Amino acid sequence: MAILVFAEHSNAVLNQATARAVAAATKIGGDIHVLVAGHQARPAAEAAARIVGVTKVLLADAPALEHPVAETVAPLLAKLAAGYSHVLAPATTTGKNVLPRVAAQLDVAQISEIVGVESADTFVRTIYAGNALATVQSQDAIKVITVRTTAFDAPGEGGNAAIESTDAPAGSEIARFVSQEVAKSERPELTAARVVVSGGRGMGNGDNFKILDALADKLGAAVGASRAAVDAGFVPNDYQVGQTGKIVAPELYVAVGISGAIQHLAGMKDSKIIVAINKDEEAPIFQVADYGIVGDLFKLVPELTEELGK
Amino acid sequence: MKVLVAVKRVVDYNVKVRVKADQSGVDIADVKFSMNPFDEIAIEEAVRLKEKGVATEVIAVSMGVAQCQETLRTALAMGADRAIHVQSDAELQPLAVAKLLKAICDKEQPQLVILGKQAIDDDCNQTGQMLAALAGWSQGTFASKVEISGSDISVIREVDGGLQTVALKLPAIVTTDLRLNEPRYATLPNIMKAKKKPLDAVTPEALGVDVTPRLKTLKVTEPPKRKGGIKVKTIGELVDKLKNEARVI
């Protein structure tokens, strides 16, 4: 039995989500190969080779793969999949975009965002915004799986897997990458941050997120938001924490002006410590918060920032 | 050009579902159902394309039990021209739904299929991508902006850490993200009009699709409950707890 893990990377840098998908593969058991599909992506391949548990890295390197679209990489993965029992990818926007296309090409089901491995064919995943856990068994010969990265701890480095070249596909004729606007930020990435500070509808407007920025700077935190705040246009969608946004599980999550709708809780309830700041003492967020404080966030947040600076 | 939109009937997003005692699933008796919120955005986008003169016809499709026809009537009231109901009492998993949609695409020949990026019941986020694979079409998933000119479609996608633009050739699949648009409410006159719009029913058998589930649900359980903690009175107390009790700062 061998498992193929589809690496998430930016050619020069391997995304940490890949290591977490490898962790899920380790729980399944078997040889673990990682596919790095990119252009001038040897640094990413070398980083993948160092992940403990990885036995081989396949490097598909071609200009057409610099910013690969699903239409280009899915056929490559589907072709390679014939030699594997499982194909895994982290449940990032890339993994979510590509893997169902691979599964359909193979005529197999996909098991989305697993949070647990019971056996080689049985997995645990959340449904209904995390309000229920489903244990599902696959009947297919090849299991195509995306991995919720917050549910698996990244294995260490120190491996020394061989890197093998594999044929890269030609570019797609029906789909082309045009551009990517990466939000510029000095802060850690939301899903990888040790501390996350999030704002909700209670922030009132986008400008008021500045007070969260100041707090986040003090804590070395990433800034997130509830869907309500995104819906209201306060902040861009890539801030969104929740069922339909990002799933985070930092050491410390500070929810500011967030009521705690089911869909938001789905994205952060696995955080180690949750702090809630809200003026409504009945807000559901207090039911999951380790430490709650009732009051005016516009007074409390600057006070907290100041206190932390002491 | 024709635009096809897939809509799913799901437990309303405001309902907190309960797991059944026998662990066979969640209790969906007597709960409110609505159209999957991302599918409302899909219908809205298609109707706007028609209003702009880009689309000539908007066809809404739903799969499942008889009550899916209510969801289709909502789609018609929002502005879809006609509806197709694939009637089945079986559990329809994403691969089966994608195959059913592919069969309908073969018949209807739309240039664009719009779907929600995920349904809020099974949270799978698969069907659009699977349909694109089966049809051999391009895909613009998690779309926050869609522009069509001639046989080209430009899609701005919501990706981790920012926005990505892709240029696709039609026919294409688009799946909707939150910021693509704000769906309209169906007005009473439009709800009345929707009752007269055509709604055809077909079966998976008639479409020649085997919908046997590939994943078997062994059990459904409650997630571990997180216990609420304490309320603190002052910021000083909060910082003290975080430093000395939780030790996270």
How would you write A217-266 as a 3-class SS string? HHHCCEEEECHHHHHCCCCCHHHEECCCCECCCCCEEEEECCCCCHHHHH
Contact (CB, 8 A) for A147 and A113:
yes
Task: Please tell me the predicted confidence (pLDDT) of residue A310.
Answer: 83
Contact (CB, 8 A) for A121 and A97:
no
Range of the domain at B180: 2-244
The predicted model gives A169-174 an average pLDDT of 95
Provide, as residue numbers in chain B, all residues whose Cβ is less than 8 Å from the Cβ of A121. Answer: none
**Residue A137: both structure tokens together:** 């068994």
Angstroms from B26 CA to nearest CA on chain A: 8
pLDDT over 70, % of chain A: 100
CB spacing of B141 vs A70 below 8 angstroms: yes
pLDDT at A86 over 90: yes
Name the residue facing A139 among B129, B214, B238 (closest C-beta): B214
The verdict on residue B104 lying in a domain is yes
Q: How many domains does chain B have?
A: 1
How far is C-alpha B183 from the geometric centre of its chain's CA atoms? Answer: 13
Provide, as residue numbers in chain B, all residues whose Cβ is less than 8 Å from the Cβ of A101. Answer: 129-130, 132-133, 139
pLDDT in tens, B128-174: 999 999 999 999 999 999 999 999 999 999 998 889 999 999 999 99
Q: What does the mean pLDDT of chain A come to?
A: 96
Task: Please tell me the predicted confidence (pLDDT) of residue B2.
Answer: 98
Task: Please tell me the predicted confidence (pLDDT) of residue A230.
Answer: 93
pLDDT band at A152 (very low <50, low <70, confident <90, very high): very high
CATH number of residue B30's parent domain? 3.40.50.620
Peptide bond into B171 cis (omega under 30): yes
The verdict on residue B119 lying in a domain is yes
Residue A148, φ and ψ in degrees, nearest 5: -75, 115
Task: Please tell me the predicted confidence (pLDDT) of residue B199.
Answer: 98
pLDDT at A228 over 90: yes
Rounded Cα distance between A169 and A103, Å, is: 18
Beta strand B162-169 pairing with A175-182: antiparallel
Counting beta carbons within 10 angstroms of the beta carbon of residue B105, is it exposed (0 to 12), middle (13 to 18) or buried (19 or more)? buried
CB spacing of A182 vs B162 below 8 angstroms: yes
Beta strand A122-127 pairing with A110-119: antiparallel
pLDDT band at A111 (very low <50, low <70, confident <90, very high): very high
pLDDT band at A282 (very low <50, low <70, confident <90, very high): very high
pLDDT in tens, A18-45: 999 999 999 999 999 999 999 999 999 9
The stretches in chain B having pLDDT less than 70 are none
The verdict on residue B55 lying in a domain is yes
pLDDT band at A167 (very low <50, low <70, confident <90, very high): very high
Angstroms from B121 CA to nearest CA on chain A: 5
- Note the pTM of the prediction, 2 decimals: 0.93
Counting beta carbons within 10 angstroms of the beta carbon of residue A107, is it exposed (0 to 12), middle (13 to 18) or buried (19 or more)? middle
Task: Please tell me the predicted confidence (pLDDT) of residue B63.
Answer: 98
pLDDT in tens, A32-79: 999 999 999 999 999 999 999 999 999 999 999 999 999 999 999 999
The verdict on residue B63 lying in a domain is yes
pLDDT band at A246 (very low <50, low <70, confident <90, very high): very high
CB spacing of A94 vs B94 below 8 angstroms: no
CB spacing of A93 vs B120 below 8 angstroms: no
* Residue with the larger pLDDT of the pair A182 and B140: B140
Task: Please tell me the predicted confidence (pLDDT) of residue B226.
Answer: 84
pLDDT at A192 over 90: no
The verdict on residue B249 lying in a domain is no
Angstroms from B197 CA to nearest CA on chain A: 32
CB spacing of B125 vs A112 below 8 angstroms: yes
Cα distances from B70 to residues A71, A127, B63, B98, in angstroms, run 35, 24, 12, 21
- Ramachandran sector of residue B222 (left: φ over 0; alpha: ψ -120 to 50; beta: rest): beta
Contact (CB, 8 A) for A192 and A198:
no
